[in-house]
Amino acid sequence: GAVVSQHPSWVICKSGTSVKIECRSLDFQATTMFWYRQFPKQSLMLMATSNEGSKATYEQGVEKDKFLINHASLTLSTLTVTSAHPEDSSFYICSARGGVTGLSYEQYFGPGTRLTVT
Amino acid sequence: RKEVEQDPGPFNVPEGATVAFNCTYSNSASQSFFWYRQDCRKEPKLLMSVYSSGNEDGRFTAQLNRASQYISLLIRDSKLSDSATYLCVVNMYTGNQFYFGTGTSLTVIP
């Protein structure tokens, strides 16, 4: 159980275009999903926290108008990178927070989307 | 001060060795603790949650020391397949605040 999928797994796009990444929890409902970015040889950086039916909470320094997040259902969150530029090239990973186990909140990660902007 | 700190390593150990990683956290209100494993160019995968009483899963043992605010991961009888980056993750009491360590790199050598 606790499977999270992402689509697409790899995308190459031209500078100035927009790219939408989907994150789905396949076998559980996720009221909260997280979006991360990871540059080569660096740690995960949280971009935003997405709650179903409400606006996402963005981390400091992340442009909400550039990285549009929609969490329309309990199993789907989308991240749209608008007007992508080469510096947006990165590994984008989503995660979904699992149910409470005692006092524990486990995160399950999607397989990631590798974005290359040319 | 960072919320979660880990020794980045790298740790290079021979097959069969025992290796231990520590991770410290700064906020005493932290509630849940996890170890994740991340392979190169892959997503993190949950290795184990860390409970107050400590827990063991096969060759892996996790311990929590609330007084000193650190968690540890012990890997016994290291296998080549254990080579990866191990991430320490701490969750705040609100449930939606997760803090990641920068990861500890482990390479198991034949």
Give pLDDT tens digits for B54-98. 899 999 999 999 999 999 999 999 999 999 999 999 987 655 678
The whole-number pLDDT of residue A107 equals 83
The whole-number pLDDT of residue A30 equals 82
Divide the 118 residues of chain A into consecutive groups of 10 and give the mean pLDDT of each group: 88 95 89 90 88 87 94 91 96 83 70 95
The verdict on a CB contact (< 8 Å) between A107 and B43 is no
C-alpha to C-alpha distance for A47 and B34, rounded to whole angstroms: 20
Nearest Cβ partner for A109 among B31, B32, B44 = B44
What lies within 8 Å, CB to CB, of B20 at 6+ separation is B72, B73, B74, B75
Q: Is A43 helix (H, G, I), strand (E, B) or coil?
A: coil
Nearest Cβ partner for B43 among A46, A51, A112 = A112
Is there a contact between A94 and A27 (Cβ–Cβ < 8 Å)?
Answer: no
Q: How many CB pairs under 8 A join A and B?
A: 51
C-alpha to C-alpha distance for B27 and B69, rounded to whole angstroms: 8
- Mean pLDDT over B15-37 rounds to 92
Is there a contact between B14 and B109 (Cβ–Cβ < 8 Å)?
Answer: yes
- Mean pLDDT over B26-30 rounds to 85
Amino acid B29 reads A
CA distance B78 to chain A (A): 23
The whole-number pLDDT of residue A103 equals 43
The whole-number pLDDT of residue B52 equals 84
The whole-number pLDDT of residue A27 equals 84
CA distance B110 to chain A (A): 24
- The DSSP result for B85-98, as a single string, is EEEEEEE-TTSS-E
C-alpha to C-alpha distance for B93 and B86, rounded to whole angstroms: 23
The verdict on a CB contact (< 8 Å) between B98 and A107 is yes
The whole-number pLDDT of residue A9 equals 93
Half-sphere exposure of A90 (CA within 13 A, CB side): 21
CB contacts, 8 Å: A51 with chain B: 96
- pLDDT bin (cut points 50, 70, 90) of residue B27 is confident
